[in-house]
């Protein structure tokens, strides 16, 4: 019996990526539903992710499967322009990251439940890329990342540090305990704010449930880790203007963000629907245009491969904790979350995604030497 057109095309794409159907290698695909080919070809990454959630296919190592697909140039061979076009048009005609939508988008992900993140992350609850230069475990990689940031900012006792998008407060605690700073952290997540306030009790740290657009403070140093991905291109310039207004004349601003090597306004349709609504990754052009005449770039540090390792460590933690979590989350959520972590790991491994730390200043005198 001859193959149907969607299956024939799908198998050709998989073969080009050295992926076998019902093969025995970690990245090979096990097909459980013949509708998979049509769904993936017609809906692109949205159909690929949703069909995985619906148990239409499996792979022992989804991260390796994704890496091979991306490296094979599958994006040029599979058209999912309708879903991308829908996002790009909407993102062009309206501000998808306005204050009302921003609060809703943050709640959809970061308020899922602290039990989930406490089980998956390191003990200090860092939900961003670790720094694996010397570390051989997640906890050390995250502590090294926090210390690297503090050293890049050259923090001094008594200085005021502003953390835009402070998460569960790990950087604020580290900076206050080990570098003697005062600190203000802002977040839109009620769960994060509640946890951070308790975790920072006894330190000179203030946690605010506040949009960055409402900031009126002048700080010696500013940091923003893993938050810029939610700002959106329509707001990049405003974000930088606010950061400039909040930074002391001789201060330093460290921006830690996932980046896109392509200059585009689209968001992956599956990620946008299930993980990070209204998320948008900046390109180098986006960043340089946003900071023009506001900041000097003192340092631009790229270590995207470290995010691959971080995501796989989170996956290991999640898998170990699932027996305790499944009373609160169903099996479809489990598959969704495992797919999310492995999908992103594969994208970083294929260098489709980047991780950048920029150190910016308002033109302070003297040379800047970035620690590594």
Active site residues per annotation? 344
Contact of 243 with 235, CB cutoff 8 Å: no
User: How many Å apart are CA 347 and CA 340, to the nearest integer?
Assistant: 11
Residue 146, C-beta contacts closer than 8 angstroms, at least 6 positions apart: 124, 126, 170, 171, 174, 175
User: How many Å apart are CA 130 and CA 115, to the nearest integer?
Assistant: 21
Angle 326-332-335 (CA atoms, 0-180°, nearest 5)? 90
Q: Reduce the secondary structure of 334-364 to three states and give it as a string.
A: HHHHHHHHHHHHHHHHCCCEEEEEEEEECCC
Q: Which among 29, 24, 128, 123 is positioned nearest to 69, based on CA atoms?
A: 29
Residue 256, C-beta contacts closer than 8 angstroms, at least 6 positions apart: 128, 129, 149, 223, 224, 225, 226, 228, 355, 356, 357
Return the axis-axis angle of helices 331-349 and 36-53, rounded to nearest 10°: 110
User: How many Å apart are CA 259 and CA 205, to the nearest integer?
Assistant: 30
- The side-by-side arrangement of strands in the sheet containing 353-361 is 205-209, 182-187, 160-164, 219-225, 247-260, 353-361, 296-302
Contact of 184 with 163, CB cutoff 8 Å: yes
User: How many Å apart are CA 237 and CA 171, to the nearest integer?
Assistant: 25
> Beta strands 353-361 and 247-260: pairing type?
antiparallel
- For 40, the token pair is 């993936």
Q: Which among 260, 251, 249 is positioned nearest to 222, based on CA atoms?
A: 251
């Amino acid at each position: 019996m001859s193959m149907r057109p969607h299956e024939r095309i799908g198998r050709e794409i998989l073969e080009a990526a050295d992926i076998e159907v019902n093969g025995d290698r970690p990245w090979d695909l096990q097909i459980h539903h013949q509708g998979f080919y049509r769904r993936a070809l017609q809906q692109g990454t949205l159909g690929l992710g949703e069909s995985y959630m619906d148990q239409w296919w499996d792979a022992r190592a989804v991260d390796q499967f994704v890496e091979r697909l991306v490296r094979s140039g599958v994006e040029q061979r599979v058209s999912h322009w309708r879903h991308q076009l829908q996002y790009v048009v909407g993102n062009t005609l309206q501000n998808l990251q306005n204050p009302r939508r921003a609060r809703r988008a943050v709640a959809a992900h970061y308020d899922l439940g602290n039990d989930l993140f406490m089980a998956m992350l390191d003990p200090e609850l860092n939900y961003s890329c670790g720094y694996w230069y010397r570390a051989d475990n997640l906890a050390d990689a995250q502590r090294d990342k926090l210390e690297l940031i503090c050293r890049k900012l050259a923090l001094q006792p008594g200085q005021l540090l502003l953390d835009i998008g402070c998460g569960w407060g790990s950087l604020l605690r580290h900076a206050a305990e080990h570098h003697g700073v005062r600190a203000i952290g802002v977040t839109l997540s009620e769960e994060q704010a509640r946890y951070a306030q308790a975790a920072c009790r006894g330190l000179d740290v203030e946690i605010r449930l506040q949009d960055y657009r409402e900031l009126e403070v002048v700080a010696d140093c500013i940091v923003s880790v893993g938050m810029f991905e939610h700002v959106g291109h329509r707001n990049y310039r405003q974000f930088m203007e606010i950061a400039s207004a909040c930074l002391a004349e001789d201060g330093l601003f460290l921006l830690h963000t996932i980046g896109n090597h392509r200059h585009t306004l689209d968001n992956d349709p599956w990620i946008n629907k299930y993980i990070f609504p209204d998320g948008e990754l900046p390109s180098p052009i986006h960043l340089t245009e946003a900071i023009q005449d506001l900041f000097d770039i003192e340092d631009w540090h790229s270590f995207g491969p470290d995010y691959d390792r971080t995501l796989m460590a989170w996956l290991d933690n999640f898998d170990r904790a699932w027996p305790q979590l499944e009373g609160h989350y169903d099996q479809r959520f489990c598959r969704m979350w495992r797919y999310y972590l492995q999908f992103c790991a594969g994208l970083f491994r294929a260098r489709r995604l980047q991780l950048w730390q920029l150190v910016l200043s308002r033109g302070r005198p003297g040379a800047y030497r970035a620690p590594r």
